[in-house]
Amino acid sequence: MEAEFGTAAAQTSSARKPRASALGWHDLRGWLAQVQQQGELARISASVDPHEELGAVTLLATRQDKSPALLFERLAGDSTGSRILTNMLGASRERYALAVGLDPAATIPEMIEATRSIMGEPIAPTMIAKDRAPVNEVVLTGRDIDLTKFPVPTFWPGDGGPFIGTGDITFTSSPDSGRINVGCYRQMLHGPDRIGLYCSPGKHGLLDREAWWKRGKPCEVVAAYGVDPVLFMVAAQGFASDQSELDVAGGIMGRPIELTQAECVSLPIPANAEFVIEGVLREGNLAPEGPLGEFTGYYGRERSPQPVIEVLAVHHRKSPIFTHALMARYPSCEIGAYYAIMRSARILDDLGRIGVPGVVSAYSHPAAASGWGMVVVSLEQKYAGHSAQVLALAAQCPAAAYYTKWVIVVDEDVDPTDLNDVLWALSTRCHPADDVEILRNTWSTGLDPSRFPAEARPYGSKVLINACKPHQHLKQFPQSTMLRKSVHDRVRERWTELGFSGPAPKMTAFHPED
């Protein structure tokens, strides 16, 4: 098995400059080799039932944020030799760093800054010959297709069926521009060659589909169920409709994403994926779909008729590895550390584009409904009204506006990624009677269970909390207790002599020198 994953080239360094070096792996297996080298992969060779048991093992094995990726090597009832990978990234910022080529020991704010640069240097994909594409090890069409032979998990007792697509990537194209979209949309298995596809309103997969149907044509779809973590992360991020997710993924990899020609559709397929289906969505071909236990920790929308992918071709590697994303409360949710870091990077990009000065860092805490519920921004106050301005802009900038209920600004001496720091600022610098505003009827989602009647749910509300020191009283505001730098340095030098083991903790802010 070790040999099968191959040897990953040594990972390059901490501050990987965009494009300065491509990542040392080419596909999911190469990445897993690296994850295994770092001791971040648990291989489960005992037989596990994809029906609820796999979900249960994943949930229980991920109750703390430092939990390994889980490779299920034997699935009950399976005769295809398939494997299933869960908790690919989950709450692990170390695995996020490995996936995008950053130093796993970097702090979260450092990873957020590095993410801003690697997401900003797109590289277009490239086509390779069909016979060079690993995904073409096995190619099936027509009557040979039977997806029910593969292990397909039902995660939660209330799920509407088995889902073949959770940790997937899905290609559609726009009939107007020809641009290929890559999204991550759930896919429930209906039968040997029929798969439900759920895209929520406004998602690009849905807009593409409607545009084809309006022209009286079926919408072609390509979906991959065993993908590398970069393609997965980018598929699950919202980008502008003229931005190419494939180009962004190539930029992060430091080299073009490799695609190859399909058998039955005009879309390309990802050449290095583990398992790919080609198919079409025809208008009027609907079947009851859902529900699925969601990232909120609740079942999502009710069962409803959704479009069905008629599967025309299947491509897979031998003993394919299906990637699956458990949706659950933090830290067991696949939308965890990576999403918090990428969303924070995009919020900082938005604030940078607007041109507001003084912003230092931002963080969308993953425990707040997978990074959707709360955003904390730190800034250096430069003028009267500055903190209120950053607060209002952060609340409604495109990357932060969706769902977010709690928007908090703090001063530059507070680390927005450290909840202890944030709670300290909320408890000592914020005067609720003066420092709290509420926005109503904001952009949200039907998946937020807090609002009744349920029809009102797409409209949300937000609390804006100013936890910065009051600007008008900055001069009188008491000094916070900090160490004198010279004493701090001396104690750090004496750390071992004082009987402590391990590296000495380090402070970054100090008492003013006399």
Binding stretches for Mn ion (CB under 5 A): 181, 204
199 binding partner (options Mn ion, ligand FMN, none; Cβ < 5 to 8 Å by kind) = ligand FMN
CB of 265 to ligand FMN, least distance (A): 18
Nearer to ligand FMN, 85 or 356 (CB): 85
CB of 315 to ligand FMN, least distance (A): 22
CB of 70 to ligand FMN, least distance (A): 15
**What residue is closest to ligand FMN based on CB?**
183
166 binding partner (options Mn ion, ligand FMN, none; Cβ < 5 to 8 Å by kind) = ligand FMN
Residue 170 buriedness (CB in 10 A; 0-12 / 13-18 / 19+): buried
Q: How many helices (H) and strands (E) does the chain have?
A: 14, 21
CA distances from 126 to 49, 245, 258, 278, 427 (A): 38, 14, 5, 19, 53
Instruction: Give the three-state DSSP class for 118.
Output: helix
CA distances from 353 to 342, 346, 462 (A): 16, 10, 23
Element containing residue 284 per DSSP (H, E):
strand 275-289
CB of 206 to Mn ion, least distance (A): 11
236 binding partner (options Mn ion, ligand FMN, none; Cβ < 5 to 8 Å by kind) = ligand FMN
334 binding partner (options ligand FMN, Mn ion, none; Cβ < 5 to 8 Å by kind) = ligand FMN
40 binding partner (options ligand FMN, Mn ion, none; Cβ < 5 to 8 Å by kind) = none
CA-nearest of 365, 351, 472, 471 to 420 is 365
Nearer to ligand FMN, 258 or 334 (CB): 334
Nearer to ligand FMN, 89 or 313 (CB): 89
Tokens of 63: 């109750």
Nearer to Mn ion, 204 or 346 (CB): 204
Q: Which residues contact 260 (CB under 8 A, 6 or more apart)?
A: 127, 128, 129, 130, 132, 133, 135, 136, 268, 269, 271
200 binding partner (options Mn ion, ligand FMN, none; Cβ < 5 to 8 Å by kind) = ligand FMN
Q: Footprint of ligand FMN on this chain (CB under 6 A)?
A: 166, 181, 183-186, 198-200, 203-205, 235-238, 325, 334-335
Instruction: Give the three-state DSSP class for 313.
Output: strand
93 binding partner (options ligand FMN, Mn ion, none; Cβ < 5 to 8 Å by kind) = none
CB of 161 to ligand FMN, least distance (A): 13
Nearer to ligand FMN, 232 or 363 (CB): 232
CB of 446 to ligand FMN, least distance (A): 11
The sheet with strand 459-466 has its strands ordered as 359-364, 374-379, 406-411, 459-466, 436-443
User: Given CA atoms 485, 412, 386, 461 in this order, what sign does their dihedral have?
Assistant: negative
Q: Measured between alpha carbons, how far is 443 from 400 in angstroms, rounded to an integer? A: 10
319 binding partner (options Mn ion, ligand FMN, none; Cβ < 5 to 8 Å by kind) = none
From the centroid of its chain, how far is CA 190?
27
DSSP 8-state secondary structure symbol assigned to residue 508: S
Nearer to ligand FMN, 276 or 399 (CB): 399
CB of 86 to ligand FMN, least distance (A): 11
Nearer to ligand FMN, 237 or 466 (CB): 237
Nearer to ligand FMN, 27 or 334 (CB): 334
DSSP 8-state secondary structure symbol assigned to residue 15: T
* CA-based R_g, the chain, Å: 24
**What residue is closest to Mn ion based on CB?**
204
CB of 465 to ligand FMN, least distance (A): 27
